[in-house]
A and B are shown apart, each in its own frame.
Chain A
Amino acid sequence: MSARRKLSLGERLVIAAPYLWIGAFFLAPMLLVAKISVSQSVLARPPYRPIFEFSDSLADIWSKAQNFTLDSYRALVSDTLYVESYLSSLTIAAISTLITLIVAYPFALAMARAPERMRPILIGLAAAPFWTSFLIRVYAWIALLKDEGLINNALIALGVISAPLQMFATPGAVVVGIVYSYLPFMLLPLYAALERQNPSLREAAADLGASPAQVFLRVTLPLSREGIIAGALLVFIPAVGEFVIPDLLGGSETLMIGRTLWNDFFSNHDWPAASAAAIALVALLLIPLLLWERARLREEERAQ
């Protein structure tokens, strides 16, 4: 079969489908947001001066294009609120991802080493939280973490502490919420990576003198690299932009870009600023990822 065989219409449609999907539901909305981000903020409905409209005449396009501005992007850099929100979001997301990994790894390992007939049940249990509303599950954490919540009451009753611990409305509460909510997204790729490992590799390592700890560090862990990366991305990326969890558990102290965005949109009615922040966030996450992926592909090509 030649590599440049002509594709039939059906094949072309099948290949085009995901591109059309991404174009319609990701790229088009992103472009709308990008358009707003380079507009000027005004007190009106909508609260910005559009730089073009599909119904515009040629003259209008020129005059409206004069409204093009990068002020919102300049504000992102100069306004410390944004810089701090980004940094805080990245930090909280990074810490949460790390903790999720540490918590999920033993679970995934236990699942992968469980008897084969048990595994579907364990996977089902890992996905069980999805059967209830995400919002309700995060709300439940308020009942656990607040000053007169379950944890504080239990600790006081046991005499471990005399005054309630401040857990609710802290960055720590946000981390707990993210770790809890995103655990399945870490668990499943880790499980998939560990489950396909050939058990005789561990035996071979032990046979060659590796203690159980060395077998884990030298064989099991490096061979689950793909799963770790996939899980970390699935947790880290949505966690950076997370809004619900910091809003419910974080209190007013916890700064995260999701909430700053929300405030700009709904409280300050500064749509261009919020749009610019959103575009910058996508760029912040996507560009390093693309560069990394490209480097990885190059390395793979070179190794061939």
Chain B
Amino acid sequence: MNRYRVSICLFLAWALVPAAQINAQAVSSKGQQIYSQQCASCHGDNGGGNEDHYDEVLTGDLNVEDLAEVISDTMPEEDPDLCIGEDAMAVAAFIHRKFYSPEAYRKLNKARRELSHLTVRQHRESISSIIQAFNHELWINNEKRGLSAKYYAASHAKKSRKLKEETTATLDFPEKVPHFRKDRKYEGVKEQKLDNEIGIGFSAYWLGGLLAPESGNYEIIVKSRNGFKLFVNDTEKPLIDQWVRSSDDLEHRANVHLLAGRVYTLQVDMFTFKDDSATMELLWKPPHGVESIIPQRALLPSGTAEVAVMKTSFPPDDSSTGFRRGVQVTEGWDNATTNIAMEAANWVVPRIWRLAKTKPTADDRGEKVKAFCRRFVELAFCKKLSVEETQFFVDQHFEDDLSLTESAKLVIMLALKSPRFLYPGFESRSESFERARRLSLFFCDASPDKKLFEIASRDELKDDKPLNKQSWRLLYSPLGRQKLQGFFHDWLQFDEAAEATKDSDRFPGFDDRLKADLKQSIDLFLSDLVFEKEADYRKLFQSDAFFTNARLAEFYNLGDIEGESFQPVADKNADRFGVLTHPFLLSGFSYHNETSPIHRGVFVSRRLLGRTLKQPAAAVSPLTEEFNPKMTTRERVAHQTKEVACMACHKIINPLGFSLESFDAVGRFRDKDKDKPIDAKSTYKTRGGSQVAFNSTKDLADFLASSEDAQRNFIQRLFQFYTNQSVFAYGDDQLDKLHRKFVDNKFRIHDLLIEMADVVVKN
């Protein structure tokens, strides 16, 4: 009883005055004493753990008060009554300051910028970018979508028989290709028999670019009974060649690996001769997507030079610290770097004449190929080569009895296997080149493009103005947009969310196609918010826009919307709060037949608020409805997690998850669960210890928008994703500085990125 009173008093004291102002010295020395007597044997002197007893590092983000409560309730494990009340508080205060708190942990484990090698994505993208620098830049008009089309009244493109030249939104002609006439009577085409083909043949040519929304394997499907060739990226070799139709198969499929954020030439040639019909459908199955007609938004009316897409597989990047880093030098990685260097060389060799802007028979081919090679190495190393380096990396390979192509092969392999390419920080370079390299890796995860390399060659990146201009350009480039989308996918755990499957009896209509629509919907929301609107971070949780097409509108009861294309609407059934209530995530963090406040709560606490949660001590299967059919999901979760050992984390998790209970397992609004009204009220205790009451989902959304914890978490994650380094490697106060600027700039995400780029380039 006595002990109880003491602890109440202390509680009050802690609540009234900041911890540091209490008799810290005394508490701390008492805490240290208790720690070494009761805790250190398992947790180690500095919380580093002990292989035999507890091998995890003792660190986390509970405040002293909550930490004391956990200690009081659960420690030491063999006798939790041994350290309670004042003692627990003293220990908590001591370890919090010494090593437990994130700040203390960082002081003990000082972050530094490591010399890392390229990540897998950077490796692939860099090789594509280096080779891309030898082609003309493609200017993408963001307004124009669809393919260029030409139709002829002849079985080949004959100028005098051209019927029409136009742009087509998609290739979706299951009945009849435009302008084809079964009766073969084409207006303006004379009936007289000029040759044996008049009025019989018909051909169509569709040309343009394909935008890949994601990196990975794309299955391309053509449905047609006519003769056709399909080219994707490679304009020499068709991906599907059915020019000769020797069977009745309607469908033809092929796979192609594409990197996101790049444009690929797409070309379909088809002809008929003595055929009574002409049909054409062009479909795809993108990574994680469903088979559908390639949508207009993925088609461009102009083509481009072939993109070098490397297929070599790599072991995954180290992400043990929560973000990808190029720090592992394993045999698998080393082999992959060798294989990709060979793959790149073998890709270049057959195309060397075009890339080097010469011909195999031209007199200047030797000089041109050599110049190409030198430029290749310079792009790979992001610098100008010295005389000695030119000799080592380029010239010496042209002095043998080797053919030009063999020489070029050696140069490319050498450049891509060199530590100068693999480790961007391996050598020093001029300030402009160094800035170009950092800027390009920061915004695009790739080597500098042609423009940036040229600006750096002119030493123009030393000044802030051109630097800033290039930052904005790269941020809005296709690769830049791609990287930001990649961040959102990573941050919001798209991969996990995309795994959701639903009970088809309970949620009929929630199928793969709907899921693909949901993913498209949230992607459009994000890119609209960041690239079309003011990029206000707070709108991530406070926008009511729900991008929807006909299928989503029907499933979520959003009103009359027609067609495949998406438009933002407000949900008349419920208030929506940006990504927080987007059904893609709400359904992703639910079970197949009911919601999961725990998954949702963990997602919000870890991903959106940046809380550290330990793994549960033991794997527990959730209580199912059969446990008590009358209990709501919330009641069951509360029941199952009420134990003291669970509550250490679940008192953070549960309130966050409960406040989303107004949305069912597919993200539809509901007001009842098991015939009881939904209870979405809860109280959350912040890292700092203050209590926040959520009366509805809106309160949670507003809290996320305004919480400094959430904002700092966003900044830290964004920084780590963009730089592959810890934000604290750029100064203990770097996060604070960036946060101040973020607030000053009205939470604009693109301003934040430009700010970060500046930090990275100048430090």
Bound pair (A, B): no
